[in-house]
Structure 1
Amino acid sequence: MKRILLILMMISISFSCDKKEDDAPTEVLTFEIGDNHEGGIIFYLDASSMHGLIASEEDQEDAVWGCLGNTTPISQDTSIGSGSDNTAAIVAACSQDNIAAKICAALSLNGYDDWFLPSSDELEQLYLHRDVVGGFDESYGSVYISSSEFFPVGTGQHLNCWVHDFGTTPVIPASRKLNSNKDNPFHIRAVRAF
């Protein structure tokens, strides 16, 4: 009996160690800036090159930031990765309709509905890769809005937001990153993370 059990165990181990013919090698996805992916065009990749940010291929309608004069900060984070949280915070805090963050948050495009208004640093990356994304208004004074709030120290009010000048010739030659009144309508380009 012991011998039969030993033989069955060895056969069982032998079959479990055999390579199956249908075991295909795992394909490693690689992405590059400018690739079409998940509803838009990749314009930023993190260090792993497996995750990043995608821009919609066209601008959304122009709109204001909203919440002019709020006395507590809503979304001051400018860093890459903060646009989604900034957008959610703006949507939750602002009762105004048709503001930039709400337009992006409500967008359903190419099978995806998790679009957001980019943070200031995300918008800077979008500017740097505007040629591969395409479709931007680059005329003089063409400014795009971010989800990042600008708070001038000592004012007690959050009247401004960060914007980026995408014009071929910038309005202020020394800088493309500007701050402007939240009630000024600017271009919007929705983005999403992958």
Structure 2
Amino acid sequence: MRSRAIFLAGALVMVALLGGVTANSVAAATKTTVTWKLSSMTAGQNEWLSDLASTNSPGVKTWSKTGSCRFLPEGFKGFLSMGTGKSCTLTLKIAKSGKYPAKTATHTIIRAPSPATTTTVTWKISSLTAGQVKNLSDLAKTNSPGMKTWSKTGSCVLSPKSDPPKLTMGSTGSCTLTLEIAKTSKYSAKTSSKTMILALYGVGDTGPAGGTIFWVDMTRPEGSQYFEAACAGWSDRTCGFDLNEGSRDRLATWGCAGTPITGADGTAIGTGEQNTIDILNGCEDSALAKFADRLVLGGQSDWFVPSKDELSQVWVRREAISGMPGSDENYLSSSELSANLHIGMNVNCYSGCYIHIQKENNGYFRPIRSF
């Protein structure tokens, strides 16, 4: 009897122990958990509610909030939009579902500082002539409203207190400008420097051949930094324009219709001279290239037909250059487009219109040179 009693007592203890393990395991398996994934958001940042918290329960979820935030779309809690205040407190209520008990979890999201917008500086001028005066606002462009401090080294005079602030270029060497822009609540601080090269000629000046300087780029190789358009009246090898006689630019054809000219497809500034050489080498009937190549004007014989972009700058400076017709006329460039077409410009467009011109069609042209 005593042995049987001991056996029964041991069995009861074992059952109790097993029952406890099973109960604890069930409790652990059915516990509803909530894990918050974000602790901060920037103002205006939007996040799906499902990306803010995860749970193991399939129970119905109800969201509510207090503080600086809102649910979007209005009337439908799809995602959270952070406001401009300090924080937003979210409450997630999960209803009981099967073996998962109900759960309420609360979490505060802090508004994080918005990342600073990168301040940019774009320098608009790279060279000035001796004594040339420019407003500082014309030298550089920035997206930041931050306080600006200018400094300089080299051959120039800075007048930051004048109205408006100005820079006067010196007569020797170069001038290096430094622009410091202070940090604002939105824009980062920025320091940018630019060296202004002393140029012999400025845009609009009369060039050494009596024409008009229409482009200056001192970063180009020496010998091709200045671009000069032939003067009005160039076609009779003299400079002079009579408004009553109309345009004295010459009419010509590109030539070689149906024949592609190898190499004559440059369009950028600085490619017109090589285009003209390629046309002369590959097209015997190009009146356009021959007129430019044979021109001697102002003691200079290095004239060529402008490329597309060079012609565009001639058009931009047309008032200073003078002699270009104001009627609906086409001007030719040296930039070939195909075996039958080249790129030209119609001068009657307000902003200049690039057009495709048949090689056999007449058009006006204005020779240019670089030095």
Q: Give the match for residue 367 of structure 2.
A: 190
Amino acid at match of 2:334: S
Q: Is the 8 A contact 1:56 1:190 kept in 2?
A: yes
CA deviation after TM superposition for structure 1 residue 73, in Å: 3.6
Q: Give the match for residue 290 of structure 2.
A: 102
For normalisation by structure 1, the TM-score amounts to: 0.74
Q: Give the match for residue 204 of structure 2.
A: 34
Q: Is the 8 A contact 1:54 1:191 kept in 2?
A: yes
Q: Is the 8 A contact 2:262 2:278 kept in 1?
A: no
Q: Is the 8 A contact 2:294 2:301 kept in 1?
A: yes
Change over 3 Å in CA distance of 1:121–1:65 after alignment to 2:
same
Per-residue Cα deviation, 1:35-92 (whole angstroms, up to 9, x for no partner): 0011111001114498221001125420000111014544111111000000011011
Change over 3 Å in CA distance of 1:184–1:74 after alignment to 2:
farther
Q: Give the match for residue 228 of structure 2.
A: 54
Partners of 1:148 and 1:87 in 2: CA distance? 9
Q: Give the match for residue 344 of structure 2.
A: 163
Alignment counterpart, residue 44 of structure 1, candidates 215, 232, 235: 215
CA deviation after TM superposition for structure 1 residue 102, in Å: 1.0
Amino acid at match of 1:80: I
How many percent identity over aligned positions? 30
Q: Is the 8 A contact 1:117 1:146 kept in 2?
A: yes
Per-residue Cα deviation, 1:100-131 (whole angstroms, up to 9, x for no partner): 11100110001000000000110011111111
Partners of 2:199 and 2:218 in 1: CA distance? 14
Structure 2 counterparts to residues 1-194 of structure 1, below 5 A: 29-39=199-209, 40-48=211-219, 51-58=225-232, 59-71=248-260, 73-96=262-285, 99-140=287-328, 142-151=329-338, 158-167=339-348, 170=349, 176-194=353-371
Aligned length, in residue pairs: 158
Partners of 2:305 and 2:293 in 1: CA distance? 8
CA deviation after TM superposition for structure 1 residue 30, in Å: 3.4
CA deviation after TM superposition for structure 1 residue 134, in Å: 1.1
Partners of 2:345 and 2:199 in 1: CA distance? 32
Q: Is the 8 A contact 1:144 1:165 kept in 2?
A: yes
Q: Give the match for residue 14 of structure 1.
A: none
Q: Is the 8 A contact 2:330 2:347 kept in 1?
A: yes
Q: Give the match for residue 155 of structure 1.
A: none
Q: Name the structure with the higher helix share.
A: 1
Q: Is the 8 A contact 2:260 2:340 kept in 1?
A: no
Partners of 2:261 and 2:229 in 1: CA distance? 30
Amino acid at match of 2:253: V
Q: Name the structure with the higher strand share.
A: 2
Change over 3 Å in CA distance of 1:176–1:79 after alignment to 2:
same
Amino acid at match of 2:305: L
Indicate the SS of the match to 2:297: coil
Q: Is the 8 A contact 1:60 1:190 kept in 2?
A: no
Partners of 2:353 and 2:250 in 1: CA distance? 21
Q: Which runs of 5+ in 2 are unaligned?
A: 1-170, 174-197, 233-247
Comparing 105-114 with 48-57, which one deviates more in the overlay? Answer: 48-57
Partners of 1:118 and 1:133 in 2: CA distance? 14
Partners of 1:86 and 1:103 in 2: CA distance? 14
Q: Is the 8 A contact 2:269 2:310 kept in 1?
A: yes
Q: Which has the higher contact order (CA 8 A, sep 6+)?
A: 1
Indicate the SS of the match to 1:91: helix
Q: Give the match for residue 21 of structure 1.
A: none
Q: Which runs of 5+ in 1 are unaligned?
A: 1-24, 152-157
